[in-house]
Amino acid sequence: MKIREGSIQQHSGIFKCLLSRFQDQKLYLFSIKFEIKARAILEISRLECRKKFMN
C-alpha cells in the first residue's frame, strides 16, 4: 500500500486540528473521567476535522 505525499500532509493537518480541539476543550482531562463519552466526542471531532480538510 503506497501513501501519497498529499495524504500524509492531509493526515498531519487532521492531527493538528485534533490537537487544537484537545487543547480547546481539555478533552484529555475529560477522557480520564468519561472515556466512552470522550471517544464519541473525539470521533465527532475527527469527522469534523476531516470534512474541513476535504473541502
Give the tens place of pLDDT for each residue, 30-50: 556 666 676 788 888 888 888
Mean pLDDT of 3-21: 64
Q: What is the pLDDT of residue 44?
A: 85
Contact (CB, 8 A) for 31 and 25: no
pLDDT of 15 over the 50 cut = yes
| Structural domain count, the chain | 1
Query: Which among 3, 7, 26 is positioned nearest to 15, based on CA atoms?
Result: 7
Q: Which set of grid coordinates corresponds to residue 21?
A: 480541539
User: What is the Cα–Cα distance from 25 to 31, expressed in whole angstroms?
Assistant: 11
Mean pLDDT of 1-6: 52
Q: Which set of grid coordinates corresponds to residue 10?
A: 492531509
pTM assigned to the model? 0.33
Q: What is the pLDDT of residue 41?
A: 80
Q: What is the pLDDT of residue 28?
A: 61
What is the domain extent for residue 36?
5-54
Q: Which residue has 482531562 as its cell numbers?
A: 29
